[in-house]
Amino acid sequence: MTRSPSCLPSAAAELLLTREPLRLEEALSRVGGPGHGAVVSFLGCVRDSEDGRPIGAIDYEAYAGMAERQLALILRQAREKWPGLRAAAHHRYGRVAAGEPSLVVAVSTGHRAEAFRAAQFIIDRIKEDVPVWKVGYEWVR
């Protein structure tokens, strides 16, 4: 059965650290529900250049166990700040091709203002405290 992404939370992972391609629908399926009037999603995608030079992909390294713990902590902090919040954060590592998402965040709340704020908070905290690194570029001639 096909349904809109935000009827009821599904069994998809709330947090995920994976080498596999990320799917926006999977993160969206974790959020939304009765009373959740606002759903905000974010994709952080690999740009096709670095310092003006074209690239085909970025290699990400992760401290997998700690990265998962940090993602869980950040989602917990967000839920403390915005009670009732539903959120999912999925990060990819390994080789990610230009144009593909390395980060997907989805949140839902009653109204839009807190949904935007919560999404921004989660993304900023991930950028600060989740042990994942860009360690190499696939340069394109």
Partner 1 sequence: MKLLFFAASAQWAGRRELELTLDRPVTLASLCRSHPALESILLRREGLRVAVNQEFSTFDAEVHDHDEVAFLPPVSGG
Q: Which residues bind partner 1 (CB under 8 A)?
A: 44, 60-63, 65-67, 69, 91, 93, 102-103, 123, 126-135
Cβ of residue 62: shortest distance to partner 1, in angstroms? 7
From first CA to last CA, the distance across the chain in angstroms is 45
- For residue 39, how many C-alpha atoms fall within 13 Å in the half-sphere facing its CB? 20
58 beta partners: 96, 137
Rounded Cα–Cα distance for residues 10 and 73 (Å): 21
Kindly tell me which of 38 and 130 has the beta carbon lying closer to partner 1. Answer: 130
Closest approach of partner 1 to the CB of residue 60, in Å: 7
Give the nearer residue to partner 1 in terms of CB position, either 22 or 36.
22
Task: Pick between residue 36 and residue 92 the one whose CB is nearest to partner 1.
Answer: 92
